[in-house]
């Protein structure tokens, strides 16, 4: 079977709740985020995933991703990987999209990047590194990371330019699966938050 990559976005934080761009600022999970992470863990440990035996787990080093991984019951198996860090938003760190649009009308991060931070090409290269790693494995892999880098991985898995990621949103504590259909890369499931309804 061709390897798949499972993507887990971290739980809710104060900044993600308010819509602030949260790149490298190490914001902790809210209680809602911790609850969501535990529910995600319960889902990952019941059929059909059954705790993902043999699956390699990697996490961003930022606390919101590591804590989500820990609360999901997979922290002991996870390797911290800097490549999974969120987009470096540079001068736009902590700002809401409307605040940026007020000084830069028409701005789109996926196309325009950010001053003093990462360019779309740099983020695309990091996403490509994750895709290459996942495809080289002989088993499924699971990563815990952040909204923009996970959306970037989704776009690049499909072989699409980075700006496609603008069209595939991700909610906190969502689970997505990138797999294959007819021998081609495919979205098996995307932005699934069914485990949070329980």
- What CATH number was assigned to the domain covering residues 5-197? 3.40.50.1240
pLDDT at 83: 98
**Closest-CA residue to 6 (of 198, 191, 156):** 191
Angle at alpha carbon of residue 45, lines to 75 and 7, rounded to 5°: 65
Mean pLDDT, to the nearest integer, of 108-137? 94
Three-state SS for 121?
helix
Is 86 marked active-site?
Answer: yes
**Closest-CA residue to 190 (of 5, 57, 56, 33):** 5
Give the confidence band of 129 by pLDDT, cuts at 50, 70, 90.
Answer: very high
Sort 78 into a burial class: Cβ within 10 Å, 0-12 / 13-18 / 19+: buried
Residue ranges for the known binding site are 22-23, 64, 86-89
Residue ranges for the known binding site for substrate are 22-23, 64, 86-89
pLDDT at 122 over 60: yes
* Lowest pLDDT segment from 11-15, 156-160, 171-175, 192-196: 11-15
Give the confidence band of 1 by pLDDT, cuts at 50, 70, 90.
Answer: low
pLDDT at 56 over 70: yes
Mean pLDDT, to the nearest integer, of 116-121? 94
pLDDT per residue over 137-176, tens digit each?
A: 889 999 999 999 999 999 999 999 999 999 999 999 999 9
Q: What's the whole-model pTM score?
A: 0.95
Q: Find the catalytic residue in 10, 21, 146, 195.
A: 10
Q: Find the catalytic residue in 21, 67, 86, 93.
A: 86
pLDDT at 57 over 60: yes
Give the confidence band of 198 by pLDDT, cuts at 50, 70, 90.
Answer: low
Chain centroid, CA 180 distance in Å: 19
């Amino acid at each position: 079977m061709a390897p798949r990559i499972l993507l887990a976005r971290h739980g809710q934080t104060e900044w993600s709740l308010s819509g602030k761009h949260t790149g490298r600022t190490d914001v902790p999970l809210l209680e809602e985020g911790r609850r969501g992470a535990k529910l995600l863990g319960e889902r990952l440990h019941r059929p059909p995933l059954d705790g993902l035996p043999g699956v390699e787990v990697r996490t961003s080093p930022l606390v919101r991703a590591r804590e989500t991984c820990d609360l999901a019951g997979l922290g002991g198996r996870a390797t911290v990987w800097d490549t999974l860090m969120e987009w470096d938003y540079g001068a736009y760190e902590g700002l809401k999209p409307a605040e940026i649009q007020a000084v830069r009308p028409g701005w789109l991060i996926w196309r325009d990047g950010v001053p003093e931070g990462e360019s779309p090409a740099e983020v695309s290269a990091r996403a490509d590194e994750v895709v290459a790693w996942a495809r080289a494995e002989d088993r499924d892999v699971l990563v815990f990371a952040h909204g923009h880098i996970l959306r970037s991985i989704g776009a690049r898995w499909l072989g699409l330019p980075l700006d496609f990621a603008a069209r595939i949103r991700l909610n906190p504590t969502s689970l997505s699966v990138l797999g294959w259909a007819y021998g081609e890369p495919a979205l098996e499931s995307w932005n699934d938050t069914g485990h949070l309804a329980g």
